[in-house]
Amino acid sequence: MDYPFLGLMTLSAVLKKNKHESDALIGENIEDFDAILQAESPDAIAFSVMTGMHQWALRLGKELKQIFPALPIIWGGPHATFNPKTIENDGVDVICRGEADEAILDIARALDLKTLFDFPIPNLWLKRKDGIIKNEVRPLIHDLDTLPFPDRSLYRRYPDIGSSTTQVFMASRGCPFDCTFCFNHQLKRLYRNKGSLVRYRTVRNLLDEIKDVAARQKVKNVYLNDDTLILNKKWIEEFTELYPKEIGLPFTCLIRADLADENIIDKMAGAGCRSVFFGIESGNETLRNELLKKSISDRQIHETARLLKKYKIKYRTYNILGLPGETLEDAFQTVQMNIDIKTDFPWCALFMPYPGTELGKRSKEMGLISESFSDNDVQCTFHSDSVLKSKCRREIENLHKFFQTAILFPWTFPIIKKLIKLPQNKLFVLWFTLIYGFIFIRSEARGWGHTILFGLKNIKHLAPALNRRK
């Protein structure tokens, strides 16, 4: 990681507000944690886990249990939420599902009283000698203004993390849409009758946080990391009126092409929006709307791009290659659409059929992955390999490595169509790494040195593609 996680910082702020202590440790092996844990003597060890890194967390949890057998190991995050049966494995004692702002405080109080496994705590699954206790999630927090500002001192041990002049904030929580490659439909089921999934902080509360951070450290750019910032038209109008007066820094946010109109884009440009990110996913309208359920037309994508160009707002598009049933010609359509709309910062992933998602289930039904495919087969990166059976798998994987090149330099597209027929090789992967870093720096206003160090640390995740011979 090269940036702080807002979720963890918020949980830390909740704990510290209520007179508890928290600290963040980053590492890969037990040696990275052992000495500090021995010195600090914590009451519990917690992981925020995403699918793909859960095997690492389980391995580390087992090793930690050998050294600290009495310490409860708690998992939260997406993998814990959507795969709570992970608690059946050694190396994890407690699973926290969903939003943990209130649950973390109940956990801390129970640890103080040494009653963590004695009483039901909403959101938690707990492993006891007599079995696993499965508690329902509590209602969602309606008023996000009641939460403290994220604890940006949490990563104090790691000065490079969070030191960027681009700082991340969130104005809202929740997404109302049902894209089939996403877990959102599961989250909706989990929180059915538990409150509105989409909630906004007040504009005043958000601006006060940005001011607070800017007063403490140098901030040149604001990144609003909401799923879709412009869902609430009234909110965005108030924000675009007050933000330039009180903050005045360039900002970046995520939007949807079907929600953007000229009035909103005009107001965002006037407020200092320097770039936006939005999803295309597939250049084939049928795949996009029937398979992925994006409900966004080609016309809406082209019109949003036209307006963004008109108001001089640069944009990143999110794209996916290797979708179930996708042909090579379908993949070429995705490249061509990005070329046609002159995407400034193209981004592309290889599809990953996460178990539990609608598209993961569809992949099995189509016979594109084995019936035994599970979360243990999920990779920790979107940029290495396609896991689906396909006649054009090699070409799709190679096209992914040249996706950004074809869009930045359209004259290369005919050449790339020929190159992708060659066997995979290290040069393709290394070229992808260079171009990916170049676009990342430009789109997120990051520094070269910091990004290069981050890339060198994480290039190991592309090892399967680097080592393969086809």
pLDDT digit string (tens) for 300-335? 999 999 999 999 999 999 999 999 999 999 999 999
The whole-number average pLDDT for the span 62-66 is 94
The Cα–Cα gap between 465 and 459 comes to: 10
Nearest to 441 by CA among 351, 316, 321, 319: 316
Tell me what pLDDT residue 470 has. Answer: 41
* Residue at token pair 């944690």: 33
pLDDT at 457 over 80: no
Q: Name every residue whose Cβ is closer than 8 Å to that of residue 44 and which is 6 or more positions away in sequence.
A: 71, 72, 73, 74, 107, 111, 116
Second-level CATH architecture of 164-373: Alpha-Beta Barrel (3.20)
Tell me what pLDDT residue 469 has. Answer: 41
Percent of the chain residues topping a pLDDT of 90: 84
pLDDT at 337 over 80: yes
Nearest to 7 by CA among 50, 43, 61, 57: 50
Tell me what pLDDT residue 179 has. Answer: 96
Output phi, psi for 167, to 5 deg. Answer: -110, 140
Tell me what pLDDT residue 435 has. Answer: 93
**Among 19-33, 233-247, 292-306, 397-411, which stretch is predicted with the lowest mean pLDDT?**
19-33
Tell me what pLDDT residue 220 has. Answer: 94
Domain boundaries, the chain: 6-134, 164-373
Nearest to 397 by CA among 316, 318, 464, 317: 464
The CATH number that domain 6-134 falls under is 3.40.50.280
Within a 10 A sphere around the Cβ of 233, how many other Cβ atoms?
12
The whole-number average pLDDT for the span 401-406 is 97
* Mean pLDDT of the chain, nearest integer: 92
164-373 matches 6-134 in CATH topology: no
Single-letter residue type at 405: T
The Cα–Cα gap between 297 and 301 comes to: 7
Beta-bridge partner residues of 75 = 47, 95
Nearest to 429 by CA among 405, 453, 454: 405
Structure tokens at 356: 């539990």
Question: Using 50, 70 and 90 to split pLDDT, how confident is the model at 34?
Answer: confident
pLDDT at 259 over 50: yes
pLDDT at 285 over 60: yes
Question: Using 50, 70 and 90 to split pLDDT, how confident is the model at 454?
Answer: low
Tell me what pLDDT residue 2 has. Answer: 59
pLDDT at 468 over 60: no
Tell me what pLDDT residue 73 has. Answer: 96
Within a 10 A sphere around the Cβ of 205, how many other Cβ atoms?
16
Tell me what pLDDT residue 382 has. Answer: 85
| Cβ contact 229:171 at 8 Å | yes
Question: Using 50, 70 and 90 to split pLDDT, how confident is the model at 189?
Answer: very high
Helix axes 426-444, 448-458, angle to 10 degrees: 140
pLDDT at 415 over 90: yes
The Cα–Cα gap between 180 and 293 comes to: 6
The Cα–Cα gap between 457 and 450 comes to: 11
Helical ranges in 170-297 per DSSP H: 184-190, 203-216, 233-246, 262-271, 285-286
pLDDT at 69 over 50: yes
The whole-number average pLDDT for the span 96-101 is 97
Question: What percent of the residues of the chain are helix, what percent strand, and what percent coil, each to the nearest 5?
Answer: 45, 15, 40
Question: Using 50, 70 and 90 to split pLDDT, how confident is the model at 459?
Answer: low
Single-letter residue type at 115: T
pTM: 0.91
